[in-house]
Structure 1
Amino acid sequence: MFKHILTGLLLATSLAATASEEVNVYSYRQPFLVKPLFDQFTEKTGIEVNVVFAKKGMAERLAREGKLSKADVLLTTDISRLIELRDKGLVQAVDSNVLNTVIPEQYQAQDKTWFALTTRVRNIYSAKRLGKIDFNYEDLADEKYRGRVCTRSGKHPYTVALVASMISEHGEAETLKWLEGVKANLARKPQGNDRGQVQAIHQNLCDISLGNSYYFGKMLKDEKQKVWADAVYINFPNQKNRGAHINISGVAMAKYAPNSANAKALMEFLVSESAQKMYAETNMEYPVRAGVKVSPLVASWGSYKADTLPLEEVAKNRKLALMLLDKAKFDL
Structure 2
Amino acid sequence: MTKLLSSRAAFGLGACALALSAPAAAQAADVNIYSSRQPALIQPLLDAFTKETGLTTATIFIEKGLEERIKAEGANSPADVVLTVDIGRLDATKQAGVLQPLEDAVIEKDIPAEFRDSGKEWSGVTSRARVVYASKERVGDEAITYESLADPKWKGKICIRSGQHQYNVALVAAYLAHHGEEATRTWLTGLRDNLASAPEGGDRDQARNIAAGQCDIAIGNTYYVGLMQNNEKEPEQKEWANAIKVILPTFENGGTHVNISGMGLAKNAPNRDNAVKFMEFLTTDEAQRIYAEVNYEYPLKPGVTLSETVKSFGELKPDTLSLSDIAANRAKASELVDEVGFDNGPKS
TM-score when scaled to structure 2?
A: 0.88
- Distance in 1, matches of 2:222 and 2:264, equals 23
Question: CA-atom RMSD, angstroms?
Answer: 1.3
Is the CA contact 1:239–1:304 (under 8 Å) kept in the aligned structure 2? no
> Is the counterpart of residue 321 in structure 1 residue 336 in structure 2?
no
Structure 1 residues 47 and 310: CA distance shift in structure 2, 3 A: same
* SS of residue paired to 1:109: coil
> Is the counterpart of residue 192 in structure 1 residue 201 in structure 2?
yes
Which residue number in structure 1 is paired with residue 125 of structure 2? 117
User: What is the aligned length?
Assistant: 314
Superposition deviation, residue 328 in structure 1: 1.0
Is the CA contact 1:127–1:233 (under 8 Å) kept in the aligned structure 2? yes
Superposition deviation, residue 241 in structure 1: 4.4
- Distance in 2, matches of 1:203 and 1:21, equals 48
Which residue number in structure 2 is paired with residue 108 of structure 1? 116
Percentage identity across paired residues of the two chains: 45
Is the CA contact 2:248–2:314 (under 8 Å) kept in the aligned structure 1? no
Which residue number in structure 2 is paired with residue 91 of structure 1? 99
> Is the counterpart of residue 266 in structure 1 residue 284 in structure 2?
no
Is the CA contact 2:128–2:222 (under 8 Å) kept in the aligned structure 1? yes
Matching residue within 53, 60, 64 for 1:45? 53
Superposition deviation, residue 293 in structure 1: 0.3
Unaligned runs of 5+ in 1: 1-18
Is the CA contact 2:192–2:342 (under 8 Å) kept in the aligned structure 1? yes
Superposition deviation, residue 314 in structure 1: 1.0
Superposition deviation, residue 38 in structure 1: 0.7
Superposition deviation, residue 121 in structure 1: 0.7
Q: Deviations 1:4-59 (Å, cap 9, x if unpaired)?
A: xxxxxxxxxxxxxxx95611101111111111111111122221110011111112
Counterpart residue identity of residue 89, structure 2: R
Which residue number in structure 2 is paired with residue 244 of structure 1? 256
Structure 1 residues 305 and 69: CA distance shift in structure 2, 3 A: same
Is the CA contact 1:132–1:233 (under 8 Å) kept in the aligned structure 2? no
> Is the counterpart of residue 33 in structure 1 residue 41 in structure 2?
yes
Q: How does 1:279-294 map to 2 (within 5 A)?
A: 279-294=291-306
Superposition deviation, residue 123 in structure 1: 0.7
Which residue number in structure 2 is paired with residue 143 of structure 1? 152
Matching residue within 133, 141, 153 for 2:142? 133
- Distance in 1, matches of 2:141 and 2:205, equals 21
Asked which structure has the greater CA Rg, the reply is 1
> Is the counterpart of residue 58 in structure 1 residue 66 in structure 2?
yes
* SS of residue paired to 1:191: coil
* SS of residue paired to 1:139: helix
Counterpart residue identity of residue 182, structure 2: A
- Distance in 2, matches of 1:65 and 1:330, equals 37
Which residue number in structure 1 is paired with residue 6 of structure 2? none
Counterpart residue identity of residue 58, structure 1: L
TM-score when scaled to structure 1?
A: 0.92
Counterpart residue identity of residue 206, structure 2: Q
Poorly superposed stretches of 4+, deviation over 2 Å: none
> Is the counterpart of residue 177 in structure 1 residue 177 in structure 2?
no
- Distance in 2, matches of 1:23 and 1:264, equals 9
- Distance in 1, matches of 2:55 and 2:333, equals 41
Counterpart residue identity of residue 93, structure 2: L
Is the CA contact 1:41–1:269 (under 8 Å) kept in the aligned structure 2? yes
Q: Deviations 1:233-283 (Å, cap 9, x if unpaired)?
A: 100002774110010000011111111111111000001011011112211
- Distance in 1, matches of 2:303 and 2:152, equals 42
Superposition deviation, residue 301 in structure 1: 2.1
Unaligned runs of 5+ in 2: 1-26
> Is the counterpart of residue 74 in structure 1 residue 86 in structure 2?
no
Superposition deviation, residue 132 in structure 1: 2.0
- Distance in 1, matches of 2:268 and 2:212, equals 49
- Distance in 1, matches of 2:253 and 2:312, equals 23
* SS of residue paired to 1:250: strand
Which residue number in structure 1 is paired with residue 165 of structure 2? 156
> Is the counterpart of residue 231 in structure 1 residue 243 in structure 2?
yes
Counterpart residue identity of residue 306, structure 1: P
Which residue number in structure 1 is paired with residue 222 of structure 2? 213
Which residue number in structure 1 is paired with residue 12 of structure 2? none
